[in-house]
Chains A and B, each alone.
Chain A
Amino acid sequence: SQQGEEDPQALSIQEGENATMNCSYKTSINNLQWYRQNSGRGLVHLILIRSNEREKHSGRLRVTLDTSKKSSSLLITASRAADTASYFCATDEGNAGNMLTFGGGTRLMVKP
């Protein structure tokens, strides 16, 4: 079964607006990561938040983690047309292989 489920599945906003994506998961985790995927390409790592952290920032990205609710959110502030992509959360349950379980992704479109 799917570990991470993302909401919304698709999001369309105007340039300059903020975009918020949510991720829910089912099991205990070691860390949670967010990745970006441009159409037809591989994934690029954006940010990692550990299970003992509640919030993390990187440039225009802000990630929160609520382990009691098993949920995370990714906020992109002042969005740009170049932010148009799919965004995936991935959970690391602390297994020996550092394997990740990916959510279904949020498809973000930023209109210029």
Chain B
Amino acid sequence: EADIYQTPRYLVIGTGKKITLECSQTMGHDKMYWYQQDPGMELHLIHYSYGVNSTEKGDLSSESTVSRIRTEHFPLTLESARPSHTSQYLCASTDRYEQYFGPGTRLTVT
């Protein structure tokens, strides 16, 4: 069982709300990632980080932002949620090749 945690697991919010999805890992990994996944579909990388104070955008354009102030913490923020943001968001980390995933946050924007 991977030591990587995401909260909340499920979230239903209204359009225009600001939300932060939390991701924490206790493995001391420098590299962390955020993926977006629609049900039954492939994962798309939206953000990644090499370490503290490092953040980069991924392949999929996203209106979200991330921060990396501490090694173990990599939160994702949506300033103004829209129905198109409805999806599952997965956080992962690695120290070399294998990625460890959190359980995901299923977000629904009404």
Tell me which residues across on chain B come within 8 A of A107, comparing CB atoms: 40
Contact A33 B103 (CB under 8 A): no
Which of A2, A31, A99, A105 is B45 in contact with, Cβ under 8 Å?
A99
- Tell me which of B13-21, B61-69, B72-80, B93-101 binds A: B93-101
Beyond A43-B90, A44-B101, A45-B100, is A86–B40 a contact (Cβ under 8 Å)?
Answer: yes
A40 at the interface (CB under 8 A from B): yes
Tell me which residues across on chain A come within 8 A of B42, comparing CB atoms: 2, 4, 88, 102-105
Contact A42 B103 (CB under 8 A): yes
Write out, one digit per residue, whether chain B residues 16-58 have a CB within 8 A of any chain A CB (1) or not (0): 0000000000000001010100001111010010100000101
The CA of A48 and the CA of B43, in the complex, are separated in Å by 18
The CA of A43 and the CA of B94, in the complex, are separated in Å by 13
Instruction: Count contacts on A: residues with CB < 8 A to the other chain.
Output: 27
Tell me which residues across on chain B come within 8 A of A86, comparing CB atoms: 40
Contact B101 A42 (CB under 8 A): yes
Contact B41 A104 (CB under 8 A): yes
Q: Which residues of chain B (1-23) have a CB below 8 Å from chain A?
A: 2, 4, 6
Beyond A41-B104, A97-B50, A104-B42, is A48–B97 a contact (Cβ under 8 Å)?
Answer: yes
Which of A41, A45, A48, A105 is B103 in contact with, Cβ under 8 Å?
A41
Contact A31 B43 (CB under 8 A): no
Instruction: Count contacts on B: residues with CB < 8 A to the other chain.
Output: 30
Which of A31, A33, A99 is B33 in contact with, Cβ under 8 Å?
A99
**What DSSP secondary structure best describes chain A's contact surface?**
strand
| Chain B residues at the A interface, C-beta cutoff of 8 Å | 2, 4, 6, 31, 33, 35, 40-43, 45, 48, 50, 56, 58-59, 88, 90, 92, 94, 96-104, 106
**Given A42-B4, A101-B45, 14 new contacts (CB under 8 A):** A4-B42, A33-B98, A40-B106, A41-B104, A42-B104, A45-B99, A45-B100, A88-B42, A97-B31, A99-B45, A101-B59, A102-B35, A104-B42, A105-B40
